Structures are given as structure tokens and as C-alpha cells.
């Protein structure tokens, strides 16, 4: 078993060479290991303290009493460099106002932060209040993960501007629109939990986020309204697993008018819903002329397998997606029926795309 190498285990000759680099030391001079070790440590410290690029990643505990001192140390030693900051709660904090007070430490330096990640268990409307009126002029990426149960919480952030902000990933709250920086957003993840309902913010996203190239939505309902997203390239959505309507998936597709969409992933789909989609020829409000990759994932238990085969329609190759080149069915119910139909009903008898199947334990191999 080898022991870990530390500075104390290095040969004295090597330590002496490090100390001598750039300094005048008499050749052949005999120096004690203790002296060379201390000199190396001092030089390493000087290098670390004097290198701003080594102080650009901050990870702070919101519960720490020394948070302000540590934060100021990083902001000072990083000099003019932009920083990436992560602030998290190591344990639940009873007072939301305490979290707000701790977060306020970064407010005077918000113009220095390029990426900001927050992991909270406090009421976001109180805890994040310090971020509401400020201008985050260099912020490019914002992630907020909130675990507290605040029904339908909506929060206004950076009302004074965040013109560089292109990526937002938020769990537990919905950003308030309109805000001046929304038009520049290219990546938006809105992650919610199972017990929450979706708001009718579909038209809001369409109006205020026209540049979106990636969108992830959790718990999508028909009530969110039509989304017109001309620049969207990738779309990941999660459906309500309690919806058993066979036409529900078709209606969800019709919500998204995304002519440039290339990749579409849908969670909580059912085999009978896919059959209805694949046997449809038109959508009243949407089309997907550029779609090349389509993924269906069944993440919940269902009773689709109890449907007799003679009650299932013959599956056709999806006519709604003319450029489709990759189809993935993951843990999908009715897998054998879907695969058989798609493989046999391709136009001209040829399969025009790759087919990936990952069966569930109850479905068996397709």
C-alpha cells in the first residue's frame, strides 16, 4: 500500500530547487529540510494569493457566521476577474430573513459574478428579495434550486437589468415576466414538483422570450396556452402522469409551434397516446418540419398493457415528422406493438431512422 505524497515527503533536493528558482542561492549551500519546506510553502502561498484566477470559484455556506469574511476575501483576491458563486444551506434555517441577510453580502459585488447557483430551503419570496432590485450586468447563468413548499411562488429578479443572462434553471418558483432581460434568454428550465399545478404562462414565455433555443418544462398541462417559439431547438417536457386521455399527447404536441425544433423529449407518456399521435396526419396549430430526434419515456405505472391487441390500431411511421431520424422508446408500455408497427409501416417499407428501445420490467424485451 502506497502512502499519499505530501510536501513533507518530497526530497530536500527538490524542495531546494523550488526555493532556488529565481533567487540567488550559493551553489552547494547546505540547507536544512525544515527551512526549505517553509520556504516552498511561503512561495506557494504567494503564488496562490497573487493569482486572481485561483479565486474565481466561490462555494459558501449560508449558515456560516464567517460567510461575509470569506466572500470579501474572494472578491478582493480575484481582483478584476469575473466569478462563479455557489451559495447553499447546509441545514434548514428557520428564519427566511436570515437567508436574505446572508445573500445580501454578494449584492455589492453582483456585477463581478458570471454564474450564480443557489440551493435553498427557505421561502424564496423572502430569501431572494435582495436580488430583486439590482442590476446583474455580467451574469450569464442563474440556477436556483428551492425545496420549500410555496404554492405557485412567483419572483421578480434583477428588475434593473441582466443583459448578459442567457441561462436560467429554476426549481420551485416561476420567474416574473416581463423583465428587461427576458428577450435575451436562450436556455430556460422551469422545474416544478408533482403536487404543483402549471400556470397559464405559455403565452408569456412566447411573448417575452423569443430567443429561446432550449426549454424544459415540468408538469405541462393544456391550460398553459399556445407557445410560439420560432428559435427553439430542443424541448424537454414532463406531463401529468394522472392524465389517461388517449388524445392528450397529441394535444400537447399541438401546444408548441416550434418550426426549428430538432430534439423533443417527453416524460410520462403512455403507449396508447403514442399510437394516437403516430396515426395522426395533421396538427391544427403546430408543425415540426425540422424535428430529427424524438424520445418518449414512461416514468410511471399504467394499465396500457391490459388493452387487448385487437383493440389497438396499427401503428404507422410518424407522418407528422418528415425529417425524423432517431426514435427512442424508454420504459414504454405497449413496446412490442409500437415497434412492430413503426418498423413495418415505414414509407416504401423502409425504416428511415434509428430506433432505440429500453423496455420496462413489466413490458419485457421488444
List C-alpha distances in Å: 216 to 86, 192, 195, 234, 266. Answer: 22, 10, 18, 8, 10
Q: Does residue 317 form part of some domain?
A: yes
Domain containing residue 173 = 32-184
C-alpha dist (Å) from residue 171 to 104, 153, 154, 164, 188: 21, 10, 11, 21, 11
Buried b (16+ CB within 10 A) or exposed e, 40-72: beeeeeeeeeeeeeebbebebbbeeeebeeebe
Last residue of a domain, one of 149, 165, 184: 184
What pLDDT digit, counting tens, does each position of 318-343 carry? 678 888 889 898 988 777 777 776 66
Residues 146 and 58 in one domain: yes
Is the same domain home to 142 and 219? no
pLDDT tens digits, one per residue of 181-221? 999 999 999 886 544 445 556 677 888 899 999 999 886 66
Residues 239 and 331 in one domain: yes
**For the segment 230-242, what is each residue's pLDDT rounded down to a tens digit?**
999 999 998 876 5
66-100 per-position pLDDT tens digit: 999 999 999 999 999 999 999 998 766 667 788 88
Question: Do 188 and 205 contact (CB within 8 A), yes or no?
Answer: yes
Whether 12 is in a domain gets the answer: no
**Which of 122, 151, 184 finishes a domain?**
184
How does pLDDT run across 35-49, given as a tens digit for each residue?
A: 667 777 777 777 778
Question: 288 lies in a domain?
Answer: yes
Quick: pLDDT tens for 268-307. Answer: 888 888 888 888 888 888 889 999 999 999 877 666 656 6
Judged against a pLDDT cut of 80, whether residue 120 lies above it is answered with yes
Look at residues 149, 184, 219 and tell me which one is the last residue of a structural domain: 184
pLDDT given for residue 194 in this prediction: 47
From 87, 97, 47, 93, select the one nearest 67 (Cα to Cα): 87
Is 268 in the same domain as 338? yes
Instruction: Name the domain count of the chain.
Output: 2
- Domain co-membership, 180 together with 190: no
Are 266 and 235 in contact by the 8 Å Cβ rule? The answer is: no
Residues 135 and 52 placed together within one structural domain of the fold: yes
Amino acid at each position: 500500500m502506497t502512502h499519499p505524497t505530501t510536501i513533507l515527503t518530497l526530497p530536500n533536493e527538490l524542495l531546494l530547487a523550488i526555493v532556488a528558482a529565481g533567487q540567488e542561492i550559493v551553489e552547494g549551500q547546505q540547507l536544512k529540510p525544515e527551512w526549505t519546506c517553509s520556504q516552498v510553502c511561503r512561495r506557494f502561498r504567494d503564488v496562490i494569493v497573487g493569482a486572481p484566477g485561483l479565486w474565481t470559484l466561490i462555494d459558501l455556506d449560508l449558515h456560516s457566521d464567517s460567510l461575509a469574511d470569506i466572500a470579501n476575501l474572494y472578491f478582493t483576491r480575484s481582483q478584476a476577474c469575473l466569478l462563479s458563486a455557489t451559495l447553499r444551506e447546509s441545514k434548514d434555517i428557520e428564519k427566511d430573513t436570515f437567508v436574505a441577510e446572508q445573500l445580501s453580502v454578494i449584492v455589492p459585488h453582483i456585477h463581478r459574478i458570471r454564474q450564480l447557483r443557489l440551493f435553498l430551503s427557505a421561502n424564496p419570496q423572502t430569501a431572494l428579495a435582495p436580488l430583486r432590485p439590482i442590476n446583474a450586468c455580467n451574469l450569464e447563468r442563474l440556477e436556483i434550486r428551492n425545496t420549500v413548499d410555496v404554492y405557485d411562488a412567483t419572483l421578480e429578479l434583477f428588475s434593473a437589468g441582466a443583459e448578459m443572462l442567457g441561462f436560467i434553471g429554476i426549481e420551485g418558483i416561476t420567474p416574473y415576466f416581463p423583465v428587461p432581460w427576458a428577450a435575451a434568454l436562450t436556455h430556460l428550465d422551469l422545474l416544478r414538483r408533482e403536487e404543483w399545478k402549471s400556470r397559464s404562462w405559455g403565452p408569456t414565455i412566447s411573448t417575452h422570450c423569443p430567443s429561446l433555443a432550449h426549454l424544459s418544462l415540468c408538469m405541462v398541462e393544456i391550460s398553459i396556452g399556445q407557445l410560439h417559439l420560432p428559435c427553439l431547438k430542443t424541448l424537454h417536457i414532463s406531463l401529468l402522469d394522472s392524465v389517461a386521455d388517449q388524445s392528450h399527447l397529441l394535444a400537447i404536441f399541438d401546444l408548441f409551434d416550434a418550426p426549428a425544433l430538432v430534439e423533443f423529449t417527453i416524460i410520462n407518456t403512455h403507449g396508447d397516446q403514442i399510437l394516437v399521435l403516430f396515426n395522426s396526419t395533421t396538427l391544427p396549430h403546430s408543425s415540426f418540419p425540422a424535428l430529427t430526434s424524438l424520445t418518449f419515456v414512461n416514468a410511471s405505472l399504467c394499465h396500457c398493457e391490459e388493452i387487448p391487441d385487437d383493440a389497438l390500431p396499427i401503428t404507422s411511421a410518424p407522418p407528422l415528422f418528415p425529417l425524423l431520424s432517431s426514435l427512442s422508446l424508454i420504459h414504454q408500455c405497449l413496446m412490442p406493438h409500437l415497434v412492430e408497427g413503426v418498423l413495418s409501416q415505414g414509407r416504401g417499407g423502409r425504416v428511415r431512422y434509428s430506433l432505440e428501445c429500453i423496455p420496462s420490467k413489466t413490458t419485457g424485451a421488444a
